[in-house]
Amino acid sequence: MAVNPVEELIKSGATVVDVRTYEEYEEEHYPNAVCIPVNEIMHRAEEIQKENPVVVYCASGARSAYAARILKMLGFGKVINAGGLYDMPNY
């Protein structure tokens, strides 16, 4: 069986960031994910440990792709765009 790299990162302690709106997050979200909407990611990136891998997701993968680019630009080394909420492992 193929190993899911996102699942492996989460199991090893990656920070999971939901970049959807607070309303979307409240409706449903991945367990233990922190909500930092994409339009706030640049100003709130210090809330995420740069030393840890980061997994970002949204509804479809578009906002999380943008958030991943921003985090990489800010110096985060390991950032993975997991796509949408329903693409997350074991969800």
Task: Report the amino acid identity of residue 42.
Answer: M
- Report the sign of the C-alpha dihedral through residues 37, 39, 43, 45, in that order: positive
Q: What local confidence, expressed as pLDDT, does residue 22 receive?
A: 98
Model confidence, pTM: 0.95
- In the set 10, 48, 58, 88, the catalytic residue is 58
Task: Report the amino acid identity of residue 61.
Answer: G
Token code pair at residue 83: 């796509």
Q: What are the strands of the beta sheet with 54-58, ordered from one edge?
A: 34-35, 15-18, 54-58, 79-84
Contact 36, 44 (CB under 8 A): yes
For the chain, list the domains and their CATH numbers: 5-87 (3.40.250.10)
pLDDT (tens digit, 9 = 90+) per residue, 8-64? 999 999 999 999 999 999 999 999 999 999 999 999 999 999 999 999 999 999 999
Q: What local confidence, expressed as pLDDT, does residue 72 receive?
A: 97
- 20: nearest Cα among 54, 48, 62: 62
Q: Any catalytic annotation for residue 58?
A: yes
User: Quick check: 2 pLDDT over 70?
Assistant: no
Does an H or E element contain 58, and which? strand 54-58
